[in-house]
Amino acid sequence: MKVISTPKPDAIDANRLRLWKTRWKTLADSRMKNDYGVAELANEIFAEFPSNTSGELQFRQFVRKHFQCPNSRTLLEKAKAFSVYTEEEWFRYGGWMGVSFLQALPAFARKKVLNNLASTGPGPYLYYTIRERAFKLGISSRRKGRDNRTQSEAKIEVLRTFISNLYKQRMDLPPIPTDVQKALARTVLSEISGKLKAA
């Protein structure tokens, strides 16, 4: 059986490291906008390490050391996602935010969401559209027993609707407390903030 040696973080060719750093620096001012470019670079670097837990740890240590990247876990996830989605798909699904949400779903659930989206048109789709579609399909991506943002927002939307209807029926009610207004305004589904201030 042939054993393929994989370079350790400090054994990678200095010229390649210099090129990677140059590309990373070039992306520095546009990492939020060019998340596909970041994922491409991360994937290229990740390919130098073993495709196992040990390799993932080495990759994270490497990018923290050489690129001063504090969020190495997210960079690892982007590297993996780059191998799954084409550039066209990446942008169709709302960039990294949409892709990362899809990647967190079980394979069967991800397929169900993508088929549902495809039935509405070719896209592109907003990140929030993808999340809400998953929720409406009854797909849960609860992690460690906690609701994801989609589920939390849906529950807040129920509360928003209740409060809105209540204030339409009872004009004599006192103003909504400021902290409640802020809590409702934090959800992208909520449009009640302005209405509450007017009330």
Neighbours of 37 (CB within 10 A): 15
Go through 121-141 and write b for each residue having 16 or more CB atoms within 10 A of its CB, e for each that does not: eebebebbbbbbbbbeeebeb
- Worst-scoring range by mean pLDDT, 44-48, 132-136, 168-172, 186-190? 186-190
Say if CB 70 and CB 64 are below 8 A apart: yes
Percent of the chain, pLDDT > 70? 74
Tell me, what's the pLDDT at 95? 87
Distance CA(41)–CA(48), nearest Å, equals 12
Tell me, what's the pLDDT at 31? 54
Neighbours of 32 (CB within 10 A): 9
Q: How large is the average pLDDT for residues 141-160?
A: 61
What does the DSSP assignment read for 45-71?
HHTTS-SSHHHHHHHHHHHHHHH--S-
Q: How large is the average pLDDT for residues 119-134?
A: 83
pLDDT digits (tens, 9 = 90+) for 6-57: 445 556 778 888 888 888 887 776 655 678 888 998 999 999 888 888 889 9
Tell me, what's the pLDDT at 23? 84
Distance CA(54)–CA(120), nearest Å, equals 42
Percent of the chain, pLDDT > 90? 7
Q: In the structure, what pLDDT confidence band is assigned to residue 196 with cuts at 50, 70 and 90? A: very low
Q: How large is the average pLDDT for residues 102-123?
A: 86
Q: How large is the average pLDDT for residues 52-64?
A: 90
Neighbours of 149 (CB within 10 A): 16
Go through 163-196 and write b for each residue having 16 or more CB atoms within 10 A of its CB, e for each that does not: bbeebeeeeeeeebeeeebeebbebeebebbebb
Q: In the structure, what pLDDT confidence band is assigned to residue 149 with cuts at 50, 70 and 90? A: low
User: Can you tell me whether residue 163 is helix, strand or coil?
Assistant: helix
- The residue ranking higher by pLDDT, 165 or 124, is 124
Tell me, what's the pLDDT at 154? 65
